[in-house]
Structures are given as structure tokens and as C-alpha cells.
Amino acid sequence: MTTSATISIRPQWQQELAQAVTDPHELIQLLDLTDQVSTDDIAARRLFPLRVPKHFVSLMSRGDRNDPLLLQVLPNADEFVEAPGYTTDPLVEQGSTQALLHKYQSRVLIIFRGGCAINCRYCFRRHFPYEDHHFGAQERAHLLNYIKQDPAINEVILSGGDPLMATDQQLARLLTELEALPQLKRIRIHSRLPVVIPSRLTRKLAERLQQSRLQCILVLHANHPREVSPALHAGTQLWAAHGITLFNQSVLLKGVNDSAETLTELSEALFDARIMPYYLHQLDKVAGASHFAVSDEGARLIEAELRARLPGFLVPKLVREIAGEPSKTPL
């Protein structure tokens, strides 16, 4: 006989993840867009699958084909355009099958989880072979030994995919192993998951991070002020109260946030939620995303207007990531 004690109940965030929309026709129906999306647009799903949680869908405007949140996730016929300079590996990351990337002197980055809660059409890793970068027991042992051999490393960055696709227990186990390495000072988690499923910011994980001797940093990814929802606000307030430092990095996207007004609203919304604006990235030139590009000149003009509108601490740094460079490159 099965009792309530033996039933395994998935956390709310995992239930929401399982219910994410993966069929463009379902998304179109939910948003009353039946006559506004072409079959050519829908065909782009074969270039990169659709995945969007229903919480994120709930933040979109019904009936608006050009809603800035929808544009980030809906397949678009423009993805078939082969633009010069746009490649499947813009940051030259795919040559190695290791889950560990050591691009910067004092930090190592781990492809901790390959999956994402949402598939953003502009993602620089939309062609990344995650199946070749599994982070299992062997990779974990390699990571710990690699760090021990290089005393210059003082920070570990969890990336993906999305590292918060891992369970609280899996993250806690890795954290315990990293805490045993005395040279480490910080652990940084880069995640978009809480923006699209705010219930991922669990109290249990916040408490574990608070207990760590390592400084714990969460870098979120929100591109538009509407993404800073009341539910996300509640979660970030909780995590900030547990001592976790919160940053945000955005990507400058044509039609989504390419105006000083929108980015000003975003910075203000982030700060209200205890999140500091950190980076504003120029688009990585990934194949299939050229229609999101904003010129460097246009980006600099937007940044100049942001400096006029906002206090300096709310102006994100405008940068570009260049393969092989030892740091991000300011524009």
C-alpha cells in the first residue's frame, strides 16, 4: 500500500517546467495569434525547438505579434537567413568535449546542466552540442582536481544550459565539494530560469547558499521590464535577505529592448527587486539570430542616453564577448 510518506512530490518549479509550451500552435492559440503567424515562421522550430514556461507566456500581451517577450521565443522565418559573419559557434566553445571552460584567469566555468527552461531564439549556444558536455562523476572529479592544480582559480561559475535545472540536492552536493577547496572564494550561478519560473528561487536553496563559506552570487538574465514580475520580485527579495548577491545581464535585442526608455524601466525594475544591472551584451553572432542585431553605433547612443537618465550604478556596462579575449570587451 502506498502511503503519503512514500509519494515523491516534485517541487512546484519542476511541475511548471514539465508543463512548458513546446508546440508553436499551442502558443499561438494561447495568445490569440492564429492569423498573425505564418507557416514559414512555424517551420523555424526545426532550427531550434520551442520551449517556453506558461508563467512567461502569462506576461505577454494577447493578440500582439510584436510583443517583446514573445519575440524572444517564437520561431521566426528570419532565422533561415544566412547572414555573413554569423556562425553556429560564435565564441569558439565547441572544440572541446569537456564540461569545463577556462576562459578567464581566475574563474572556471562549468556547463553544469545542458537543458534550459526556455529556448531563447538569440541564444549564443542554440547550436551547442550539450550531449557532448555531460557533467557526471568523472567530470566532477576532473573539475576538483583541475582547481587544486591551479591556485589562481578563486571562483567557479555554474552555467549551461541552465545550472538551476539541477535540483537543490544536486547543487548542495557540488557546493559542499567546492567549499572543501580553500583557494575558492566565490561561486556564481548564471540562470534565466527564475525569470521564467520564479518558483525556482526556493527557500531551501537560499538557506544552503547562506550557510556556505563561499560568497554566493546569482546572475539573472532579464531583457525587458515586464520580465521582472511580482513573483520574481518576491523570490529575489527572499534570496537577497539570505545574503545572496544578485546581478542581471541583458542582451540588446532589436524590437525587444533597443531603446533607452525600455532599458531605463528595466534597470529601475531590477533595482526595486534587489538586483543590480551588470552587463548589457551586444548580440553574439550566432546563426539564426541576425534579425535581433543592433548596430554598435545604435548601442552606444542608447548607452549614452542611459547615462543621462540613470544614476551610474544603474547603468549596465555595454560589452561584447569576443572569442579568445581574456575578458569581455567594452564598447
Q: C-alpha grid cell for residue 6? A: 512514500
Instruction: Compute the distance between CA of residue 299 and CA of residue 117 in angstroms, rounded to an integer.
Output: 28
Where the chain has pLDDT below 70, the residues are 1-8, 95-98, 130-133, 326
Confidence at residue 95, expressed as pLDDT on a 0 to 100 scale: 61
Confidence at residue 133, expressed as pLDDT on a 0 to 100 scale: 62
Residue 152 has what DSSP assignment? Answer: T
pTM of the full structure: 0.93
What is the number of other CB atoms lying within 10 angstroms of the CB of residue 34?
9
Confidence at residue 192, expressed as pLDDT on a 0 to 100 scale: 98
Q: C-alpha grid cell for residue 279? A: 552587463
Instruction: Compute the distance between CA of residue 57 and CA of residue 126 in angstroms, rounded to an integer.
Output: 21
**H-helix or E-strand spanning residue 104:** strand 100-104
Identify the sign of the CA torsion 165, 166, 167, 172.
negative
Give the HSE-up count for residue 307: Cα atoms under 13 Å, Cβ half-sphere: 8
- Nearest CA to 12 out of 161, 203, 144, 147 is that of 203
Confidence at residue 5, expressed as pLDDT on a 0 to 100 scale: 46
Confidence at residue 6, expressed as pLDDT on a 0 to 100 scale: 43
Instruction: Compute the distance between CA of residue 124 and CA of residue 280 in angstroms, rounded to an integer.
Output: 15
For residue range 17-73, what is the model confidence (pLDDT) as tens digits?
A: 999 999 999 999 999 999 999 999 999 999 999 999 999 999 999 999 999 999 999
Identify the sign of the CA torsion 298, 72, 257, 311.
negative
